[in-house]
Amino acid sequence: MTNLFPMFLKLEGKRCLVVGAGPVGEPKICSLLDTGAEIHVVACAAGTATHQLAREGKIRLSLRAFASPDLDGVFVAVVATSSRAINDSIYRQAQGRGILCNVVDDPGRCDFFYPAVVRRGALQIAISTSGQSPSLAKKLRQQLERQFSPGYARWVEELGETRRRILASTLHPQRKQELLRSLASEQAFESALAEQAPAQAGEIT
């Protein structure tokens, strides 16, 4: 098996095509929403959530069969129809155009895989088994969700703000590096959580 290169894509402003909007396709549509991508969904039928997203203007929905021009200008394509023949045809067309394509639940027809993701604000931890065992990836995600509490979201945001101030300061470069390393220590995180706890308790009361 070819080794995968782990990376996070910037999709803001880029065209993403999703073909198929059933129980398999809908979650893939939803996973693209927060990226800022221009999402075009082509499907003969679509679920309630997909119709709602279209009404809200978050996606463009075309209720019809796929046509080759749907790939024009597309950066990423996700294919989730119930027809293996259609999926294969779209994948081959995408390959011919140099478009990254993922045929859901078909590792052999994927240029990339959807990882299991732990999200804590700006912090994202992605787990992949290269399509070999989504169940294992899910299990590892659940373990990491317990390990990385929701408090990491606010802490990472604070880290970013502090990092920008340090880099903009007139401190010696070596001192800047020392401070940046100390900010990401376990002790710093525990201290940040301790400071957040009283504020969160006040919000609840």
* CATH number assigned to the domain comprising residue 126: 3.30.160
Q: Strands, DSSP E only, in 22-88?
A: 38-46, 60-63, 76-79
Between CA 41 and CA 57 the distance in angstroms is: 12
Choose the weakest-confidence range: 1-5, 66-70, 177-181: 1-5
Q: For residue 11, is pLDDT > 60? A: yes
Residue 89, in any domain of the structure: yes
Domain span at residue 188?
Answer: 151-197
Residue 202, in any domain of the structure: no
Give yes or no: residues 105 and 137 share one domain: no
Give yes or no: residues 46 and 91 share one domain: yes
Give yes or no: residues 156 and 104 share one domain: no
Main-chain phi, psi angles of 123, to 5 degrees: -80, 125
Question: In the structure, what pLDDT confidence band is assigned to residue 188 with cuts at 50, 70 and 90?
Answer: confident
Between CA 59 and CA 51 the distance in angstroms is: 9
Q: Which residue has the higher pLDDT, 182 or 62?
A: 62
Which residue, 56, 90, 113, sits at the end of a domain? 113
Give yes or no: residues 135 and 84 share one domain: no
Averaged pLDDT, 88-101: 97
Residue 7, in any domain of the structure: no
Q: For residue 204, is pLDDT > 50? A: no
Query: For tokens 């787990």, what's the residue?
Result: 127
Q: What pLDDT, in 10s, does the model give residues 48-90?
A: 999 999 999 999 999 999 999 999 999 999 999 999 999 999 9
Give yes or no: residues 105 and 188 share one domain: no
| pTM of the complete model | 0.75
Give yes or no: residues 52 and 139 share one domain: no
Domain count across the chain: 3
Q: What percent of the chain has pLDDT over 70?
A: 93
